[in-house]
Structure 1
């Protein structure tokens, strides 16, 4: 899928991205109900997460950067769906885009790169949990062939309010 934001490049995440990725994720922790983490993380606390996404295999971290400044614009991941062995061919995917880079096709660019990388892996299904409301994320996932399979009602509480999470799946 072509991106509307040609000035961005996507590559696997590296340890040098840790501070920028942590800062981006912390924005979503502090300002939104998109993630159910409630306390900002330090780069050191986030390091195991980064290291759990190598350049190959089913658990990937793809990073979009500005072609000129190399500033991180967003990232997409595929992570273990659940820890039990029988879930090994399923992944949970997510996308986080810098607030000042939204609506420029960065999420599309990231997911396109992620799913191309996963095409060569032994992965059967991708799942995505979307904290509601989040129309932009629902549109992005529909664009990539995800279908709604159910909603967990009031499954988490953030900012003093219970939140629903819609679950989507895609065959790979």
Structure 2
């Protein structure tokens, strides 16, 4: 009998969260590839190679953070930070993304990843985190709201994939009130 309420599936234990390395690229790409090939969740139209994905991990680890979640030694999800925009004035803002294997969704994996990622990014001095969500995506919106993100707008028909236009909802979460130090232009 259905009570009309969407119930969270029981957790299988809190996953282990650790920084990703380039050696994790193949496992993490196995999670990401179906999102590229079968959904509009990612606006990439061709999945990257393992080497390309490893380079992305290295870049994120060097400037922001890339974390993965494991259960029983198996990668089940990941979250990372990247540049929000390239101009210098954006240096204290970060864009974040999370991907969780479908068989591990709605079990707290994304939330656990984001909680740790956002904490790490705040410690690195980032002040605001931004996330874009291809619409519709009730689960991703719920995830972002559950860790303190607020809706700040929608880019209408901003991406075209699978012969269809897609909207992207944008979310923001403050991480800290000011950067660790203000740099002045010379």
TM-score by length of 2: 0.85
Deviation, 1:141, is 0.7
Contact 2:22 2:55 in 1 (8 A): no
Q: Deviations over 1:150-170 (max 9, x none)?
A: 100000011111000000101
2:43 paired with 1:36: yes
2:113 paired with 1:110: yes
Q: Deviations over 1:10-64 (max 9, x none)?
A: 000012211011121111001111000001221012222111122x75x100100
Structure 2 counterpart SS, 1:62: strand
1:15 and 1:101 map into 2 onto residues whose CA distance is 23
Match of 2:95 in 1: 92
RMSD: 1.5
1:31 and 1:99 map into 2 onto residues whose CA distance is 13
1:131 and 1:137 map into 2 onto residues whose CA distance is 9
Higher-Rg structure is 2
2:166 paired with 1:159: no
Match of 2:137 in 1: 134
1:3-152 equivalences under 5 Å are 4-54=11-61, 59-66=64-71, 68=72, 70-152=73-155
Deviation, 1:120, is 1.3
Deviation, 1:119, is 2.7
Which protein has greater RCO, CA pairs closer than 8 Å, 6+ apart? 1
Structure 2: 5+ residue stretches without partners: 1-9, 176-186
Structure 1 counterpart SS, 2:158: strand
Deviation, 1:102, is 1.0
Contact 1:77 1:114 in 2 (8 A): yes
Q: Which runs of 4+ in 1 moved over 3 A?
A: none
